[in-house]
Amino acid sequence: MQLDVNGKQYDVDVPADMPLLWVLRDVIGLTGTKFGCGMMQCGACTVQVDGAPTRSCVTPASTLAGKKITTIEGLSADASHAVQRAWIETDVVQCGYCQSGQIMAAAALLTTKPKPTDADIDAAMNGNLCRCGTYQRIRAAVHRASELMAADKLGEVGHVA
């Protein structure tokens, strides 16, 4: 089957029921997306499919033909996405294992809701577990990313003008 991952085409020969997570990790070799539960309970495997946050651990790769898959590796080449910058600035990470999923969920949220409230963040990211308990800084960093994105946009406008 053909998969579009981070703008690159991959031809993979895997069983039809094989979840995207394992195709990404064990076949394509993109290990930034993590395995945590295998039953969409923890969000560590969150990627974006056509921009929507998706649990790759239960999504058969065979259902994704023609769709655009974005993983943490595709968010930016150099940790420069506003969410990643906000995460670094806010010193969010601890063990870091859940953070790819957290960041992909946050980036998707900010695309649909550029200025989320705490309640929006809770609703969008409650499915992303963190055993280190970085939640307080995650919340702060989502707000910070929102500011950075707004500033980036202003910058872009300014540049064009």
Partner 1 sequence: MLRELFHKEKKGTLSRRAFLKSTALASGGLVVAFCLPAGLRRAFAQEAKTAVIPPNAFVHIAPDNTVTILLKHSEMGQGVWTSLPMVLAEELDCDWNKVRVEHAPAAPAYAHTAFGMQMTGGSTSTWESYDQLRQAGAMARALLMQAAAANWNKSVADCHAAGGFVVCGDKKISYGELADAAAKLPMPAEVKLKDVKDFRLIGKPMRRLDSTAKVSGKAEFGIDVKRPNMLVAVVARAPVFGAKLKSFDATKAKALPGVVDVVQVPSGVAVLGKHFWAAKQGRDALVLDWDLGAGATLSTAAMREQYRKLAQTAGTVAKSAGDIRATTKDAGIVEAEYEVPFLAHAPMEPLNCTVEIGKDGCDIYTGTQFQTMDQGTAAGILGLKPEQVRIHTTFLGGGFGRRATPTSDFVAEAVQVAKASGKTVKVVWTREDDIHGGYYRPMWLSRLRAAVGVGGKPASWEHTIVGQSIIAGTPFEKAMVKDGVDVTSVEGAADSPYLAAIPVHRVDLHSPTSAIPVLWWRSVGHSHTAFAVESFIDELAHAAKKDTLEYRRDLLPADSRERRALDLAAEKFGWGKPLPKGHAAGLAVHQSFGSYVAQIAEVSIDDKKQIKVHRVVCAIDCGPIVNPLTIEAQMQSGIAFGLSAALHSEITFKDGKVEQSNFNNYQVLRLNEMPKVEVHIVPSTDKMGGVGEPGTPPIAPAVANAVFAATGKRLRQLPLRFA
Contact of 21 with 56, CB cutoff 8 Å: yes
Does residue 14 bind partner 1 (CB under 8 A)? Answer: yes
CA dihedral 139, 141, 146, 150 (to 10 degrees): 160
Point out which residues pair with 8 in neighbouring strands.
5
Contact of 60 with 49, CB cutoff 8 Å: no
Pick the binder of partner 1 from 111, 131, 147, 154 (CB under 8 A): 131
Of 53-112, which residues contact partner 1 (CB under 8 A)? 71-73, 75-76, 78-79, 84, 87-89, 91-100, 103
Does residue 36 bind partner 1 (CB under 8 A)? Answer: yes
Find the shortest distance in angstroms from Cβ 110 to partner 1.
15
CA–CA dist 5, 47 (Å, integer): 10
Residues that bind partner 1 in the complex, under the rule CB under 8 A: 14-15, 18-19, 22, 25-27, 29-39, 41-42, 44, 71-73, 75-76, 78-79, 84, 87-89, 91-100, 103, 121-123, 125-139
